[in-house]
């Protein structure tokens, strides 16, 4: 049988320890029910993990606390990166060559985390990449397409199920935060070019900054209290915020995708 060529292109591969901790914390928290519900050992893919396999190693360590039998598979399109990862393989953690086709020998993934991957692709290729990955998911599986800064202080991610995008999460390091909209430069590829007047995600970030400014009085009690007040104000003003104070205290805020989805242009699975 002819070997299938990996789908995708080699990315820059930049990574750092703990860079993806904010998303991992979400996967081990609000999204953990997907792992627990799996009747067999759930497979979680770190897609395009980069020049160092450290993010896959960390993902396995964090998710195994939720589901001890979880299998984490690091998938990279660069053979050299796969070889480097193989040196750290152990029970429950493996590495293989591949791309968006997510080669798992016939198995289905419960979660595919693709961070800082599609950011390096043209926007018009996002829908196709999503569709390819979604075809490799288990029925209740999840694609997490995200972006973060080099040290993981700012991170955003879209949660995509087989039915389409569900939510946009944003996570800030609260210490030293001046305005929430600083995270705009780390929006996922599906949204980063949409942060312009007339687009819902621009309205969302603008309102975040406005409520942050209005909540300045709470700064006397600490930046966390100011953020909690900002998040509550967003919910009170009608934004469909999907999480609550327990997540807000971590500097994390999740909104329904329908509220921030692109207003124009084609992007696959924009919801009903």
108 domain-assigned: yes
> Would residue 81 count as lying in a domain?
yes
Same domain for 90 and 140: yes
Residue 171 lies in a domain: no
Q: What burial class does residue 103 get, using C-beta atoms within 10 Å of its C-beta: 0-12 exposed, 13-18 middle, 19+ buried?
A: middle
CB contact at 8 A, 34 and 42: yes
Regions of the chain where pLDDT drops below 70: 1-4, 8-9, 12-13, 265-272
CATH code for position 37: 3.40.50.150
Could you give the strand order of the β-sheet that contains 252-256, starting from the edge strand earlier in sequence?
Answer: 93-97, 71-76, 43-47, 109-115, 137-148, 154-161, 164-172, 252-256
Could you count the other beta carbons within 10 Å of the beta carbon of residue 21?
A: 17
Q: Is residue 139 part of a domain?
A: yes
pLDDT confidence of residue 264:
72
Domain boundary among 136, 162, 188: 162
- Do 157 and 186 lie in one domain? The reply is no
Same domain, 79 and 205: no
The pLDDT value given to residue 120: 85
25 and 102 housed in the same domain: yes
Decide if 8 is inside a domain.
Answer: no
Angle 134-161-139 from CA coordinates, rounded to 5° = 75
For residue 130, what are the β-bridge partners?
none
User: In total, how many domains does the chain have?
Assistant: 2
Domain shared by 242 and 157, yes or no: no
Residues 6+ positions from 113 with CB-CB distance below 8 Å? 20, 23, 27, 44, 45, 46, 47, 59, 144, 146
pLDDT value at residue 269: 42
Residue 186 sits in the same domain as residue 140: no
Instruction: Report pLDDT for 13.
Output: 63
Domain boundary at 129, 162, 195, which?
A: 162
Q: What is the pLDDT at residue 16?
A: 81
174 within some domain: no
> Which of 272, 266, 265, 200 minimizes the C-alpha distance to 238?
200
Residues 134, 74, single domain; the answer is yes
Asked if residue 122 is part of any domain, the answer here is yes
Q: Do 226 and 141 share a structural domain? A: no
Residues 118 and 155 in one domain: yes
Domain boundary among 162, 193, 224: 162
For residues 140 and 38, give the distance between their C-alpha atoms in angstroms, rounded to a whole number: 9
One domain for residues 75 and 142: yes
Residue showing tokens 């429950």: 92
Say if CB 142 and CB 160 are below 8 A apart: yes
The domain of 52 spans 21-162
Q: Would you say residue 224 lies in a domain?
A: yes
Residues 199, 255, single domain; the answer is yes
Do 143 and 213 belong to one domain? no
């Amino acid at each position: 049988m002819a070997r299938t060529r990996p789908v995708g292109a080699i990315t820059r591969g930049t990574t750092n320890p703990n860079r993806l901790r904010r998303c991992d914390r979400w996967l081990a928290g609000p999204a953990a029910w997907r792992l627990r519900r799996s009747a067999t050992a759930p497979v979680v893919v770190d897609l395009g993990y980069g020049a160092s396999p450290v993010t896959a190693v960390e993902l396995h360590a964090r998710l195994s606390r939720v589901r001890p039998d979880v299998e984490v598979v690091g998938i990279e399109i660069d053979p050299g990166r796969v070889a480097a990862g193989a040196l750290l393989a152990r029970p429950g953690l493996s590495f293989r060559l591949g791309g968006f086709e997510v080669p798992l020998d016939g198995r289905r993934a419960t979660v595919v985390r693709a961070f800082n991957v599609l950011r390096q692709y043209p926007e018009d290729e996002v829908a196709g990449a999503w569709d390819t990955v979604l075809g490799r998911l288990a029925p209740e599986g999840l694609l997490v397409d995200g972006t973060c800064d080099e040290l993981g202080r700012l991170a955003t991610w879209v949660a995509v199920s087989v039915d389409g995008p569900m939510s946009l999460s944003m996570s800030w390091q609260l210490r030293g935060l001046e305005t929430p909209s600083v995270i705009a430069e780390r929006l996922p590829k599906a949204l980063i070019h949409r942060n312009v007047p007339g687009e819902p995600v621009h309205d969302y970030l603008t309102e975040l900054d406005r409520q942050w400014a209005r909540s300045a009085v709470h700064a006397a009690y600490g930046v966390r209290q100011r953020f909690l007040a900002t998040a509550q104000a967003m919910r009170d003003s009608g934004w469909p915020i999907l999480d609550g104070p327990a997540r807000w205290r971590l500097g994390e805020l999740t909104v329904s995708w329908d509220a921030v989805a692109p207003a124009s242009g084609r992007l696959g699975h924009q919801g009903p």
